Amino acid sequence: MEIVKGEEIVKIGIIGGGASGIIAAIAAAEAGGDVTILEKNDRIGKKLLATGNGKCNFSNLELSSACYHSDTPECIDPVLRQFTISDTLAFFHRIGLMTKEKNGGLYPACEQAAAVLDVLRFWLEHKKVQIKTNCQVIGITYARNMFCVNAKVQDEECSYRFDRIILSCGSKAGIKKDADENGQKLAGLFNLKQTPFVPALVQMRCQETYFKALAGVRCQAEVTLLAKGMKHCERGELQLTDYGISGIPVFQLSRHGAKMLQNHNIDTLPVFLDFLPEFSDQQWKKMLLERRQNLGFETMERFFTGTVHKKIAGVILKLSGIPTSVKAGDLETDQLLSAGKLLKELRVTVTGVNPFWQAQVCAGGVRLSELTTSLEAKRQKGLYVTGELLDVDGRCGGYNLQWAWTTGMVAGRAAARGSN
């Protein structure tokens, strides 16, 4: 189907060649648009190659709006419903990607992120989408029903004219250098309200010096973040580093911690680590006393062997002031229970999260309330916003890439068809 504006095919400019920009280009081209991607890097889709540790967990069967965070959460579901998991699988099958499922997560059958990018690139070529790389957009103006995009291509200034624009610039997450806020600046040119970016799905830094002794430990744990009357809990594999805490449960909590530190003008946050989440407090207390009855002849250095990692036990004993040489049977009950409680509720002091370049995504961006359900700006006809530039961030597990696919498809189709 050829989409025309007057007598001419609609010209669509997509700023950014990441996941959402690529699929927006495909959607717009398939709907009849004349599409050009303007990408600041030397090639498109670079961040896509690093997803899922190179295996590309590109979506998740357990998709719902509850898997996402936003300052306007009520606006998420109307977007998600327009391009579902079934639609995503059908799309990738159509363009040649075989997929597989693992614990709900969806991956390319070959487990190579490069394969996902390749089939997308091949389809862009098939649909005759133009790609301008090393193209840094520095400004956009709108006049006489046209967008004029000013850019630098290898230090030479140039301009492009489009009927419609899709901002798919992404965020600063995962970028070591040249991590500017270009997407936010471009959205700001059209007075779109935005929530400030903070790193998300990232490690947390802690004040305690004993983390140096815990570096390298991995264990199942429950991590609880408490601050300003809010409580957030996550359970999974905790990774202890020389500077603090990492792992999936920490990643899931990091956006809450980063926002609390930023929005409430506080320097630290209390986080509680439960190294034995499978037992209730009463169960663990009973087990401790039974263990002392059976192993009273053992020194405390050996007492926790078989329950928690040796490094964790060593730190707990130091914090409790218990010599490693004392026998468990000679220890006061209160001392034993006090040490045991630390294994269920070790308070650590979070001083911040790691920087943007170490984050998988960002929390913050253009508020969904500024856009229609087709992701067109209410303040500027013909301007669309997708992907990480939106104030939506998902949990670990393929949800952020699904958001990129969905928003790119919705905006691309709408831009070509002129939907509102």
Task: Tell me the per-residue pLDDT of 341-351, one tens digit each, with 9 for 90 and over.
Answer: 999 999 999 99
**In this structure, is the dihedral angle defined by the CA atoms of residues 215, 235, 390 and 49, taken in order, positive or negative?**
positive
Give the pLDDT of residue 7. Answer: 47
Q: 357 is written with which tokens?
A: 């370049």
Distances, alpha carbon 381 to alpha carbons 63, 145, 147, 420, in Å: 31, 9, 11, 8
How, if at all, do strands 218-227 and 164-167 pair? unpaired
Give the pLDDT of residue 175. Answer: 80
Q: At what angle are helices 281-295 and 333-344 packed, to 10 degrees?
A: 130
pLDDT along the chain (420 residues), means of 10: 58 97 98 96 91 90 96 97 97 97 95 96 98 96 96 92 96 74 91 95 97 97 90 96 98 96 90 97 96 95 96 97 95 95 97 95 96 97 97 96 98 84
CA geometry: angle 2, 8, 13, nearest 5 deg: 85
- Write the burial class of residue 254 (CB in 10 Å: 0-12 exposed, 13-18 middle, 19+ buried): buried
pLDDT in tens, 74-84: 999 999 999 99
Give the pLDDT of residue 180. Answer: 62
Give the pLDDT of residue 252. Answer: 97
Give the pLDDT of residue 177. Answer: 62
CA geometry: angle 216, 219, 221, nearest 5 deg: 130
Assign domain 4-198+359-417 to its CATH superfamily. Answer: FAD/NAD(P)-binding domain (3.50.50.60)
Q: Which parts of 228-314 are beta strand (E)?
A: 230-240, 244-246, 269-274
Distances, alpha carbon 118 to alpha carbons 22, 114, 130, in Å: 11, 6, 16
Give the pLDDT of residue 2. Answer: 44
User: For domain 203-353, which CATH number applies: 3.30.1050, 1.10.3470, 1.20.120, 1.10.8?
Assistant: 1.10.8
The average confidence (pLDDT) of the chain is 94
Give the pLDDT of residue 420. Answer: 42
Among 121, 26, 40, 18, which residue's Cα sits nearest to residue 403? 18
- Domains of the chain, by residue range, sit at 4-198+359-417, 203-353
Q: Are 165 and 70 in contact (CB under 8 A)?
A: no
How, if at all, do strands 204-206 and 130-132 pair? unpaired
